[in-house]
């Protein structure tokens, strides 16, 4: 079996990733405006990071939640999705 040249592998990889980014972006965009429940996992200076029931750790994206009220790590928070990115979502607490 002949080895595929490195440049060909790289070109194919980048083509596949470009296609995957478009697919993921289209899926994420469908969540904008929806109300979802998010498990709050991490806290940063100006936002929290959480996951919806659709997000598997280390595989799927996350939800960036703007800090607007007292939220505790580990709680489930109802949020409204306000923006989407290729793999992640942005939300506001309800």
65 Cβ contact partners less than 8 Å away, ≥ 6 residues apart: 38, 40, 47, 48, 49, 50, 71, 77, 79, 90, 91, 92, 93
92 Cβ contact partners less than 8 Å away, ≥ 6 residues apart: 65, 66, 68, 79, 80, 82
Cα angle 13, 87, 69; round to 5? 160
Q: According to CATH, what is the number of the domain 6-93?
A: 2.40.50.140
Question: For each of the chain's 94 residues, which pLDDT tens digit applies?
Answer: 889 999 999 999 999 999 999 999 999 999 999 999 999 999 988 899 999 988 888 788 899 998 877 888 999 999 999 999 999 999 999 9
Enumerate the domain spans of the chain: 6-93
pTM of the predicted structure, to 2 decimals: 0.82
């Amino acid at each position: 079996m002949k080895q595929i040249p490195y440049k060909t592998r790289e070109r194919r990889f980048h083509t596949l990733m470009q296609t995957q980014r478009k697919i993921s972006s289209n899926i994420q965009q469908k969540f904008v405006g929806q109300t979802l429940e998010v498990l709050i996992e991490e806290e940063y200076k100006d936002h929290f990071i959480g996951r919806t029931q659709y997000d598997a750790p280390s595989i799927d994206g996350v939800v960036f939640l703007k800090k607007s009220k007292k939220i505790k790590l580990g709680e489930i928070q109802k949020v409204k999705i306000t923006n989407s990115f290729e793999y992640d979502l942005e939300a506001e607490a309800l």
